[in-house]
Amino acid sequence: MQWALAVLTVIAFVTLPLGSESFEQQPLPTLLAGLAYTLLAIFGFRFVQRRSVWWAVAFVAVQLPLGFVIFSLSGAAVGAILLLVVLVSQSVILLPLPAAAVVAAAIPLVHLGMQWQDGLREGLGTLAVTTFTLVVTELLVRERRARTELAEANDRLRGYAAQAEQLATIQERNRLARDIHDGVGHHLTVVQMLLEAARAVIRTADPDRLDGMLARAQEQSGEALAEVRRSVAALREQRPDLAESLEVLVTEATEAGVATELEVVGRARPIRAEVEESLFRAAQEGLTNVRKHADATCTTVVLDYRQPDRVRLEVRDDGRGLPDVAAEEQTHAPAAGYGLTGLRERTASLGGRVSLDPAGGAGLTLTVEVPG
């Protein structure tokens, strides 16, 4: 826009000598005043644009009277009107819109020295031109401002998108770290302990005891392999249904010596992947603790969809109960990984809660409830 106004100013200056047939012209003073006006309109305009509004007011206060003088010296030349029209556009850019409107309304007063019929006709024509210039320039300024704001908004959105992507990556890494620690890490720790124990008794010539340790190590390594496959399936978004995954856990728990069954209450519905993962890990942790510490004969896993905005998972056993299990939990915490602490952290990150309560006369109930 600055270059367009500069070109229009030069064209107006070049047309100043044409003058008007109805009025006398003073060529040399017209050209000198026109040159001063042109230089100010091109270079002075750029100077005041980078400064406060008071510089803009001073610029308009100098240019407007000078334009009136040029109009008089040029004998009402069309070029003088063009110079004043340029001033209207510059006023819109430099000043608030009401102030620019005052400038546009003042320019037609340049015709006051004419006969009233001619002055009125020319003044109305000039007013129409200045009003049109005012409106068009304001629209262009708003459009340019909108494009600038849109570009800034796009830059911010790109920044937010990059931050969101980075945060999602970090969260996914943390989730995978928890899964590896709680799943594969747990099983490999048990394998390591069993192999160490096997090495300790290998010279005792007790084949049955050694075979039992190696069988348990083999079982734990198989569970670790299943965890790896489950994680790979999750990464490939081939996640099985939550009830199906829990059924696998229930079957494994039954084969390990504790009769376990699964109950699905309410109508199953799609839930977020992280919620499914949290509930699966809760069931896995609960069944592992039952098998290790509870001395239970039967266990029930309940998946409850009855609440419209929450999903509830319960692991009930008929084992020794809370005091002994709590002590065992503290005793075996280093070997068992995060245990209840890790489970609570995982559930709390989803806005859920975990509780461990007595189950009637004997046993415990692990309850996990999360939004979903």
pLDDT tens across 153-176, in order?
Answer: 988 888 888 888 888 778 777 767
Task: Give me the helices (H) in the chain, please.
Answer: 2-14, 27-39, 45-49, 53-73, 78-94, 97-106, 116-179, 185-201, 207-235, 242-255, 273-289, 322-331, 333-336, 339-348
What is the DSSP track for 71-110?
HHHTTS-HHHHHHHHHHHHHHHHHS-HHHHHHHHHHGGGG
Domain boundaries, the chain: 2-113, 241-372
Length of the chain: 372
Sign of CA dihedral 164, 166, 169, 174: negative
Sign of CA dihedral 229, 234, 235, 238: positive
pLDDT of amino acid 329? 41
Give the lowest-confidence range in 173-182, 212-221, 266-275: 173-182
**241-372 — its CATH code?**
3.30.565.10
Q: What is the pLDDT of the chain when averaged over all its residues?
A: 80
Residues facing residue 13 across a β-bridge: none
* Helix or strand holding residue 318 (H, E): none
**pLDDT class of 52 with cuts at 50, 70, 90:** confident
Q: Does pLDDT of 324 surpass 60? A: no
Confidence at residue 325, expressed as pLDDT on a 0 to 100 scale:
41
Task: Please write down the long-range contacts of 39-46, taking CB distance under 8 Å and 24 or more positions apart.
Answer: 40/66, 41/5, 41/6, 41/9, 41/83, 41/86, 41/87, 41/90, 42/6, 42/9, 42/10, 45/2, 45/5, 45/90, 45/94, 46/2
Decide: 14 and 54 in contact? Cβ < 8 Å. Answer: no
Distance between CA atoms of residues 325 and 273, nearest Å: 30
Q: Is 294's pLDDT higher than 50?
A: yes
Confidence of residue 328 (pLDDT cuts 50, 70, 90): very low
Token pair in block for residue 197: 């124990």
pLDDT in tens, 4-28: 888 888 887 787 777 665 566 777 8
**CA neighbor of 258 nearest in space, from 285, 228, 233, 289:** 289
Q: What is the CA radius of gyration of the chain?
A: 43
Cβ-based neighbour number of residue 186 at 10 Å: 23
Burial of 74 (0-12, 13-18, 19+ CB in 10 A): buried
